[in-house]
Amino acid sequence: MGRLKSIKLLILVAIATLFIAACGADKGASVDGKKKDDKDIQVVFIPKMTGNAFFESGNNGAQEMAKKVGFKVKYDGAPEGTVANQVQIINSAVNSGADAIAISSVSSDGLNQALKKALAAGVKVVTWDSDVDPKYRSVYVNQGTPEILGKMLVDMAAGQMDKPDDAKKIAWFYSSPTVPDQNSWVNYANKYIKEKYPKWEVVTTQFGDANEQKSLQVGGSILDSYPDIDAVICPDSTALPAMAQAAENKGLKAGDVIITGFASPNSMRQFIENGTINNHGLWDVKDQGALAVYVAYWLAKGNNLKVGDSIEVPDMGSVKVEPNTIQGYDYTADDSGIIVLPERIVFTKDNTKDYNF
């Protein structure tokens, strides 16, 4: 009888030990069963490409947040934004023992298998700027929904026209036909144009492959092929400065052709100040980079973040996780959602010097 009690006691102790271990496992990143200190958590911050002012500014925000909180951020990208390069960087992050990645994707589905392997290895996945299939990430730190940004692009052009309801010839110019974020904005913008400005005609859509030299050539080609073009809208941080440079090279000013779109103020200030363009837009990409790595760090610490939850972010306040449906996705899950940046900015000659990114 005493032996039976001893066996029962041992079984109960074993069950209790397993239960405690399981609870501990839910608390996230650990070393030898102990929760990691902030200084031991590493987030790999991945841009579409390096050497671009937009992504370098995002990294500046990411590094500042890491320094403030006490975790580590490794900036890892390639000069050319390709699926192959990003797959290699993701695999490298997993093999090096990173706790989380925060990536601006060059493809909506090309990274699926690499991200699936990362998740299976326990790496937390956050996207920023440009999303992936929402099945393969926890949170997308989004600069704005397609409705917000598509409308903003059109309104920045229309606001410069004397008679925007009249017939106008418009061109789209951005990175590629496959990049998810830019195409979602343009798709909504074209719907908005049909409803708001039915006399506008989109005469061409061109791509620069996020390459500075090619984008400059494409910009010049648009102006040569369509000398009576009214506006060129460039929702791309490589295409917009290249388009403005192409116009400047031909001696054109904002009164000759409207050029607007999305790029960092530091990359566009000279074109605003010399009258080549009147405005362009963006969001605070430093904040976006900072928020992306903080969310990645938060998840790597073992915290849960579900749709409907809010978290406090240093120097930013409270942000809320919205459902994937706000981006038009069909896929929904409690542990897969979107955080939308609170504001976007239209830069003009009056305010461009107020921003440094």
Residues 183-233: pLDDT tens digits? 999 999 999 999 999 999 999 999 999 999 999 999 999 999 999 999 999
- State how far the Cα of 281 lies from the Cα of 47, in Å rounded to an integer: 20
Q: Give the CA distances from residue 344 to residues 14, 125, 187, 288, 328, in Å, rounded to whole numbers and listed in that order.
A: 55, 25, 19, 11, 20
Q: 240 and 246 in contact (C-beta within 8 Å)? A: no
Looking at residue 352, its pLDDT comes to 97
Q: Which amino acid is at 112?
A: N
pTM, full prediction? 0.85
| 35 band by pLDDT with thresholds 50, 70 and 90 | confident
- State how far the Cα of 11 lies from the Cα of 355, in Å rounded to an integer: 64
Residues 6+ apart with CB under 8 A from 104: 46, 47, 48, 55, 58, 127, 128, 129, 130
Superfamily the domain 146-282 falls into: Response regulator (3.40.50.2300)
Residues 77-92: pLDDT tens digits? 999 999 999 999 999 9
Tokens representing residue 223 in the block: 């102006």
CATH 3.40.50.2300 is the classification of domain 30-143+285-341: yes
| 36 band by pLDDT with thresholds 50, 70 and 90 | confident
Q: Give the rounded distance of the alpha carbon of 226 from its chain centre.
A: 32
- State how far the Cα of 357 lies from the Cα of 348, in Å rounded to an integer: 15
Pairing of strands 168-174, 200-207: parallel
**pLDDT averaged over every residue in the chain:** 92
CA angle 339, 284, 301 (to 5 degrees): 45
Domain ranges of the chain: 30-143+285-341, 146-282
Residues 156-177: pLDDT tens digits? 999 999 999 999 999 999 999 9
Q: 150 and 126 in contact (C-beta within 8 Å)? A: no
